[in-house]
Structure 1
Amino acid sequence: MPKTKRKTLTRRGSVGKAIVAGVKDRETNGVTASPVAATDSPALQGFVQEHTELGAKVYTDDASAYRDMPGFDHESVNHNAGEYVRNMAHANGIESFWAMLKRDYQGTCHHFSVKHLPLYVNEFAGRRNVRDADTIDQMASVVTGLVGKRLMYRDLVA
């Protein structure tokens, strides 16, 4: 990888990187994540609205994209001020999901192509959602997900 590209990709923020948003349901511990187009308010708030019931409690960090979320009981924590938990307001559950996804990326996959990023993220979220189930239930979940799906090599590389 060229030195200039490495410098761009190793910095913080979304410059030169694909953006993935995620939500975690605290009752079921289920995680939903998928790539989004941008880190602005319409994209991130649209993702939250799509995957969360209106009127639900939503806990986020202090990113400006999450300000003024109508229809939700919204609380945030200010990471820049060293605040990570305030009563029930914290983003630790989804942060652990991101940490595990990054570990999988660095240790197993080494590269997520933008074309196949939704597949990688869905697979990882699915594995995360069935991790507490018994082995037989995990296997049944995988087999259920395989029914009616076929990935041809020519479609994979097209």
Structure 2
Amino acid sequence: MLALDVSGSMQGDRIFKAVKGCKRFIDEAVDAGYQVGVILWHHGVEGDTPPDSSPKPAHSLLSRAVASGGNDAVPFLTLAHRQLMALDVGDRVVAIFGDGDLGNRHTAESKAAELINDNIRILTCGLGEGSAQELASISTETAAARTATSENLADSIASMAQGLIRKG
């Protein structure tokens, strides 16, 4: 599952660059044999496509992404958890991009712990150091927080696909 922050702060060039990077991530994931779904998130779930071996549904949803709203990670983490647990696959992953915070951090960390307990890996990328550190609090990656800048936004999101190494 790829979760893209579409909160109001993503307006303008940010949303266009983020969508470009997400489409590259999806293509690389599908090429690696993954089913991919997308969740557009802000203070709720704006839209989603369940995991699919074709990139078309995810690409279509991303093409309609519009920035608005605030931030709350719990609704999209809940949806990703439910959709991923319904799959009979060896590697379950949520890749998250955001440019702000998680909403209630304690609640988001508790929800992320449920995913992690079910062997769902969480990859993150944040726009700017503050966002990267906030998202890193729920990441299962051991490397330094993945930090994007306005200049490398698309490349940074797409780079999360490097974490898609099948396990199991």
Same fold by TM-score, threshold 0.5 exceeded? no
User: Which has the higher Rg, Structure 1 or Structure 2?
Assistant: 1
TM-score, L = length of structure 2: 0.28
Greater RCO, 1 or 2 (C-alpha within 8 Å, sep 6+): 2
